[in-house]
Structure 1
Amino acid sequence: MLDELDHVGPRLRAARQRLGLTLEETASRASMSASTLSRLESGKRQASLELLVPLTRHLGIRIDDLLQPETRDPRVHRPVVTRDGLTIAPLAPDSSAIQTYKITYPPTEKLPELRVHDGFEWVYVLAGKLRLRLGDQDLVLTRGEAAEFDTRTPHAVCAAGSSPAQVISIFNSEGERMHTHLS
Structure 2
Amino acid sequence: MTQELDLDAVIRARIRGLRLARGWSLDALATRCGLSASTLSRIETGHRRIAIDQLSPIARALGTSIDQLVELTSDDDVVIHPRRNAAHGHTTWLLTREDELGGLVVAKMRITARRRTGALGVHPGHEWFTVLSGTARLQLGERVLLVEEGQSAQFSTMVPHAITAAEGPLEIIVVLDREGRRAHLDPGSGDVEDRAPAPSH
User: Among 97, 101, 111, which residue is 2:107 paired with?
Assistant: 101
* Residue 150 (structure 1) shift: 1.0
Q: What's 1:80 paired with?
A: 82
C-alpha separation between the residues in 1 aligned to 2:173 and 2:115? 22
**Aligned sequence identity (%):** 32
C-alpha separation between the residues in 2 aligned to 1:167 and 1:116? 20
* Residue 133 (structure 1) shift: 0.3
Q: Deviations over 1:71-120 (max 9, x none)?
A: x99x7544321122210100112221210000111042445631101121
Q: What's 2:95 paired with?
A: 91
Distance 1:109 1:153, change over 3 A: closer
Q: Deviations over 1:103-157 (max 9, x none)?
A: 1110424456311011210010000010000122100111011011111111011
Distance 1:68 1:87, change over 3 A: farther
C-alpha separation between the residues in 2 aligned to 1:171 and 1:99? 5
* Residue 177 (structure 1) shift: 2.5
C-alpha separation between the residues in 1 aligned to 2:128 and 2:68? 30
Whether contact under 8 Å (1:111, 1:157) holds in the other structure is no
Unaligned stretches of 5+ in structure 2?
1-66, 187-193, 196-201
Q: What's 1:164 paired with?
A: 169
Q: What's 2:136 paired with?
A: 130
Whether contact under 8 Å (2:90, 2:113) holds in the other structure is no
Distance 1:160 1:119, change over 3 A: same
User: Among 173, 181, 187, which residue is 1:176 paired with?
Assistant: 181
Letter in 1 for 2:96: A
Distance 1:112 1:159, change over 3 A: farther
C-alpha separation between the residues in 1 aligned to 2:125 and 2:68? 30
Normalization by structure 2: what TM-score?
0.50
C-alpha separation between the residues in 2 aligned to 1:98 and 1:68? 27
Whether contact under 8 Å (1:129, 1:160) holds in the other structure is yes
Q: What's 1:140 paired with?
A: 146
Q: CA RMSD in A?
A: 2.7
* Residue 180 (structure 1) shift: 3.8
Letter in 2 for 1:166: E
Distance 1:76 1:176, change over 3 A: farther
Normalization by structure 1: what TM-score?
0.54
Unaligned stretches of 5+ in structure 1?
1-66
Structure showing greater radius of gyration is: 2
Distance 1:99 1:114, change over 3 A: same
